[in-house]
């Protein structure tokens, strides 16, 4: 199983210096990937912990790509309905090109009413918009010439398509992952809760005539109890999870390194 770790692109912990140091430490610690999250318009009454400060995920990963050379760069997850499809495809392709194909693209449909209102996007269309964007991304990465709004254009740069993992729960996210993506990214599920969903995901993939993609689980681990961590990782591996991204909380680089040392010991 591959092990990744989250780094904070929100709140006071998202300073340039701390972001850079955590990325360097994760790479030095042998982690497979680093992951950040996506929010675009946090309302004042829901800003506890972040103070409403969120760095844009794709721009942040582009910055981090210049600071680290080997570790993979994940967004978990990019909210597709928040963004126009064509500029998003261009940003994704550019990041993938300049990072030497290190991008891991988790995507989701979003949930926060306030953000949809701020963007003027109909929340009830978020699933349909996401499906359209996923289809458009696939078209862009499979063709030099793409058409949008009856206008053909050259889609360049056109690097290797980054793997796309659909975040969210059953049944809609599982169907979306089976039809349009390279894997599924469940969030925070315990092994017993995940087991049935894994079966359903495989069944959906079979119905689509596709092999199940890589499953990336995002959740926190009890890092103060290394034996329990090893047991959990083994249970997830037995279920077919191929990458586990550990969510960590920290205020300083020292706190991050302490948790990283436990994760590195599990590799």
18/255 Cα distance (integer angstroms): 11
DSSP bridge partners of 188 = none
User: Would you state the pLDDT for residue 202?
Assistant: 97
Exposed, middle or buried, 120 (CB in 10 Å: 0-12/13-18/19+)?
exposed
Q: Which residue's structure tokens are 């978990």?
A: 76
**What's the sign of the alpha-carbon dihedral 173, 178, 184, 189?**
positive
**What's the sign of the alpha-carbon dihedral 45, 48, 52, 58?**
negative
Exposed, middle or buried, 45 (CB in 10 Å: 0-12/13-18/19+)?
exposed
Q: Which two tokens stand for residue 22?
A: 């955590």
How many CA atoms does the CB half-sphere of 142 hold within 13 Å? 6
Per-residue pLDDT of the chain (267 residues; tens, 9 = 90+): 999 999 999 999 999 999 999 999 999 999 999 999 999 999 999 999 999 999 999 999 999 999 999 999 999 999 999 999 999 999 999 999 999 999 999 999 999 999 999 999 999 999 999 999 999 999 999 999 999 999 999 999 999 999 999 999 899 999 999 999 999 999 999 999 999 999 999 999 999 999 999 999 999 999 999 999 999 999 999 999 999 999 999 999 999 999 999 999 998
**Chain centroid to CA 180:** 16
3-class secondary-structure state, position 245:
strand
Q: Which two tokens stand for residue 211?
A: 């092999």
Tally Cβ neighbours within 10 Å of residue 242: 14
Domains along the chain?
2-265 (3.20.20.30)
Which residues neighbour 46 within 8 Å (Cβ) at sequence distance 6 or greater? 112, 114
Tally Cβ neighbours within 10 Å of residue 65: 19
User: Would you state the pLDDT for residue 59?
Assistant: 98
User: Would you state the pLDDT for residue 267?
Assistant: 87
């Amino acid at each position: 199983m591959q092990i990744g770790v989250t780094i904070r692109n929100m709140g006071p912990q998202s300073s340039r210096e701390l972001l850079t140091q955590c990325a360097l430490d994760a790479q030095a610690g042998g982690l497979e990937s680093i992951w950040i999250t996506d929010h675009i318009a946090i309302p004042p009454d829901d800003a506890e912990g972040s103070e409403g400060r969120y760095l844009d995920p794709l721009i942040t990963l582009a910055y981090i790509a210049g600071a680290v050379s080997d570790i993979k760069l994940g967004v978990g997850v990019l909210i597709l309905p928040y963004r126009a499809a064509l500029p998003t495809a261009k940003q994704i392709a550019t990041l993938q090109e300049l990072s030497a194909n290190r991008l891991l693209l988790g995507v989701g449909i979003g949930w926060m009413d306030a953000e949809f209102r701020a963007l003027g996007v109909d929340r009830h269309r978020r699933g349909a918009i996401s499906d359209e964007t996923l289809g458009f991304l696939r078209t862009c990465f499979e063709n030099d010439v793409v058409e949008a709004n009856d206008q053909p254009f050259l889609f360049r740069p056109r690097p290797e398509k980054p793997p796309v993992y659909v975040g969210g729960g059953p049944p809609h996210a599982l169907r979306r992952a089976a039809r349009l993506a390279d894997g599924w990214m469940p969030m925070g599920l315990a092994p017993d809760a995940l087991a049935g969903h894994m079966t359903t995901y495989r069944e959906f993939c079979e119905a689509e005539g596709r092999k199940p993609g890589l499953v990336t689980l995002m959740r926190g681990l009890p890092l103060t109890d290394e034996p329990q961590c090893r047991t959990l990782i083994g249970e997830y591996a037995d279920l077919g999870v191929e990458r586990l991204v550990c969510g960590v909380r920290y205020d300083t680089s020292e706190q991050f390194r302490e948790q990283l040392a436990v994760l590195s010991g599990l590799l």
